[in-house]
Amino acid sequence: MTLNSAAPPPCETFAVMGVFADVPAVFSAAEQCRDEGFTKWDVFSPFPIHGINEAMGLKASKVAYVMGTGAILGVATAVIMQGWTAAGADIHISWLSQLSGYNVNTAGKPLFAWEQFLPVIFELGVLFSAFGALLGMLALNGLPRHHHPLMTSEHFLSCSDDGFVIAIEAADPKFDEQETSSYLKSLGATHVEVVKS
């Protein structure tokens, strides 16, 4: 019945997993796990559940800081790149003596005219912050990855259909295989399972 019968035999406990029948059940179970003080655990559901962040006690995502850094880098890149190419003929970098910018006279405007730089500054700011959002999201989620121990469980697959799963990892300081299993059972899980990695 395992997902991949050719896989090497499981060795270590990865997590304890409980399947819940519906949203209210998993929601209140999540609130109780939060209040119990678990830190390394997650909720899996077929669709987003409004308010689950508060129920799990999640902090605001840090992806905004990655994005903000991307925006600042984009703006800086645009200013330096355009300033260098449009008004950089007199700027020499000592260790790259051959390399200098150009002085491009565009319609008699000042060489370093911030007005004409602004559309590119805006575009690169948006572009780099989008890169920051995507790459930051992937990094913070630990993606991409080929496999996850939870996927060895047949019951885990129900969370892509009609099941709601709470998995508490063995790395959690409050984790105890027996106690955590019975705890999830007491929260109303219809099925509790120990997942090996």
Partner 1 sequence: MSVAPHFDLERVFSKDNVETGPTLRRIGSAVLLIGAVFVAIAVVMGFAGDATMKALTLHSLQIGAIVALGFPLGALGFSMILHAVNAGWWVLLRRQFENVFSLYWVGCAFVVGVFALQWVFINVGGGAAAGGAHAEAAQHVTPYLWHWMDPAHTTGDGLYAHKSPFLNVPFFVGRMALYFIVWGGLVTFFLNQGRQQEETNDAMATVRMGRASCIGLIVWAFTTAFAAFDWIMALDYHWFSTMFGVWFFAANTVSALALLSLIFVLLKTFGRAHGAITDEHLHDMGKLVFGFTVFWAYISFSQYFLIWYANIPEETMWFNVRRAEWTWLSWVLPICHFIVPFVFLIPRPARRSGLVLGIVSVWIIVLHMFDVFWNIRPQVRGVNHFTMTDVLGVLGPVLVFGGFLMMRIASRAVIPTNDPRQDEALTHKNYV
Binding residues for partner 1, rule: CB under 8 A, are 23-24, 27-28, 31, 50-51, 53-55, 60, 107-109, 115-116, 118-119
- Nearer residue to partner 1 within complex by CB, 23 or 81: 23
Distance of alpha carbon 194 from alpha carbon 171, whole angstroms:
14
For residue 15, the minimal CB distance to partner 1 (Å) is: 25
Please give the DSSP secondary-structure letter assigned to residue 92: B
| Alpha carbon of residue 188 to chain centroid | 29
- Nearer residue to partner 1 within complex by CB, 126 or 194: 126
Distance linking the first and last C-alpha atoms of the chain: 16
For residue 50, the minimal CB distance to partner 1 (Å) is: 5
Q: How far is CA 87 from CA 22, 72, 90, 93, 103, in A?
A: 63, 22, 8, 14, 5
Distance of alpha carbon 159 from alpha carbon 179, whole angstroms:
24
- Nearer residue to partner 1 within complex by CB, 53 or 186: 53
For residue 181, the minimal CB distance to partner 1 (Å) is: 25
For residue 110, the minimal CB distance to partner 1 (Å) is: 11
